[in-house]
Amino acid sequence: MLDKNALSQLQSLKQEIQKAVPRHEGTVRATGGRFGFVNTDDGLQFFIAPEEMEKVLPGDRIAFRVEPAGEGKEQAIIEALISTDLNEFFGTYIVRGKGHFVEADHPTLNRWIFVPPAKRMNAADGDLVRAHIAQHPYPHGKAQAELDEIIGKGDEPHIETRFIKRKWGLTDAFAEECLAEVAALCAAGLDALTADRTDLTHLPFVTIDSASTRDIDDALYAEALSNGWNLWIGIADPAALIQPGSALDKAAAQRTTSVYFPDEMIPMLPPELSEQLCSLQQDQNRLSMVVELRISEQGAIENIHIHNALIRSHAKLSYNQVAAYLEGDEHGDLAAELHGPLIHLDACARALGNWRKTHCLIMDDRPDFKLVLDDNGKVRDIVRMERNQAHRVVEESMLACNRAVAAWLATRESGFFIEHSGVRTERKGEVAALLKEHLPLERKPELATLEEYVSLMQQADASPSELPLRTIVSRQLERSNLSLEAKPHMGLGFAYYTTFTSPLRKYNDLLIHRIVRSLLNNDSPVQPDDSLLAAIQAGQNNARICAQQSETWMKLQWLAQQDKETVYDATIIHMNSGAFTVRLDNTGIEGTIDRRKASGWTFETKTITHRSEQGLFMLGQAVKVKVQDVQAKGRAAKFALI
């Protein structure tokens, strides 16, 4: 039996051991498996074993100690929950015997959450639901959820978009205050706002868009000169009607953009404005900000003049109509007065494209894919839509307008811009080594200036290398950002870039209109701050994700109904050490091919390739695949390489 002195010494030894054990605080990060990691504020990362991971949720802030895990490894042992952010979530209701769960539609919450009997709202297996965490797993060891709403069943008409809208908090309804402002604007009409505007209604502007488009925000006209063209780009002018700080302005700022789902559209502005009073409808006088560009025969922008104008669209044309005429169909229903301007538009756009090809960067055309829906909003077919010359006419005109307005703003040290800084900092070393190895370069490039980057990418396009150099670099670029600084857009190869051409659909374009008008009136423009630009960018990113999630879900439902033995033509669009991402050529559906069990293959990060003695897989490579598994609600497809 130990005496008091020995017990005291033993207690002191235990305390010293406890003090010697490393302790930290950090944030839990989930993985695709049952294990996870915890990241500390000073950049350390520790493994969390599955049994410990069951005690926490992704994003939790925890206190933990570090203990040996065998074979020289360490693991985190949770000692306290500091805070948790995960509360509300959406998902699918699952019934397995007597157990009721929610399978979360969440990027990192990859476990089923138990729902106790009193919290189930009579939900049935397969229902799509909204729920919240009713019991955190720490220290109980088992998370529990409570249902808040049954959104619908998985086979209901249009459930995909309805669920995604609820998940992301999107609504197409406008507040009463907004509707009252719209009613007042429509009642007042436009006559009182036209007096001080340049009357350009005599110019035969036309709109070129999809046949079904109603929120028309750009119109075009070109006239040929002896040594080039005058290109007129008329843009809808909702900023003339919507006052800063009004209910409409606040709603547009909150929405940030119109959202285009396969089966519906959520407008940024009420349809009475975006599709009627402000839309550049045929044969209607409309308020417009018109950018007049002097284009040289070589396609250079030589001059810009911006008009606070009134215009009139002389025709609402579809892409197919214009493309058919430009390709020689002289028997269409286009008015004779439009023939010359369309020929001039085409010639001007081709010159602009050639100039960009020489001085900037052009990406290859990618097809669009149209979902053909049945009466229940389910996909009946997916049609590949190739881009035609009419698409290119509009694209070149919009790009010219946007970069010209950006340069105009930069010289006045005003406005904001879309900047793109090129290759990610952590990837510059490998990209520089790749380019030096495959291009005739004496030294590694620095990838620091716009001029150098454009030159290198043009050389990469022309390189005889077996590798798709330009595509490899494109997978390692930064994202573009809204910025108050006039910095280059490396991805496009422009010295400055902003967007001015979609004020009915994007809030940042509406703000640019306000700034441009203030400068035209010699007033001091109100500049947005960084927080507003960040909110706009976040809102537009979320809108893009929403539309993609709904479309992917609907496409995969269609894919799951096809013959399982069908062999599809596909293209490798990305890869890492464990998987390929491929895109089906005729539908645009994307999915993964697991390569973790492919023996004898090695992955090279510099070239983004898989190599073996058998051959080579690289980006852009054509492959044939079969469907292995489709999880439509989870928006994931797995393919097998044939």
Q: How far is Cα 350 from Cα 319, in angstroms, rounded to an integer?
A: 16
Which stretches of 231-376 are DSSP H helices?
Answer: 247-255, 271, 319-326, 336-359
- The alpha-carbon radius of gyration of the chain (Å, integer) is 29
Q: 617 Cβ partners below 8 Å, 6+ apart?
A: 572, 575, 580, 601, 609, 610, 611, 623
The rounded distance, in Å, linking the Cα atoms of 381 and 269 is 31
325 flagged as catalytic: no
Q: Which residues contact 42 (CB under 8 A, 6 or more apart)?
A: none
Q: Is 381 helix (H, G, I), strand (E, B) or coil?
A: strand
* Distance in angstroms (rounded) separating the CA atoms of residues 138 and 55: 5
Amino acid at site 90 = F
CA distance 242 to 195: 18
Burial (CB count <10 Å: 0-12, 13-18, 19+), residue 321: buried
Annotated catalytic residue, options 221, 319, 325, 507? 319
The secondary structure of 423-477, three-state, reads ECHHHHHHHHHHHHHHCCCCCCCCCCCHHHHHHHHHHHHHCCCCCCHHHHHHCCE
Determine whether 215 is an active site residue: yes
Pairwise CA distance, residues 134 & 119, whole Å:
9
Alpha helices in 58-193 (DSSP H): 137-140, 159-168, 176-188
Per annotation, catalytic residue among 60, 105, 127, 217:
217
H-helix or E-strand containing 309? strand 301-318
Q: Which among 254, 278, 277 has a CA at the least distance from the CA of 174? A: 254
**In Å, how far from its chain's centre is CA 461?**
25
Q: Which of 505, 509, 514, 568 is catalytic?
A: 505
Pairing of strands 73-83, 99-104: unpaired
> Is 569 a known active-site residue?
no
568 has catalytic annotation: no
3-state secondary structure of 264: coil
Catalytic residue among 60, 105, 127, 209: 209
- How far is Cα 292 from Cα 288, in angstroms, rounded to an integer? 12
Identify whether the C-beta of residue 146 lies closer than 8 Å to the C-beta of residue 113: no
Instruction: Give catalytic residue positions.
Output: 209, 215, 217-218, 319, 505
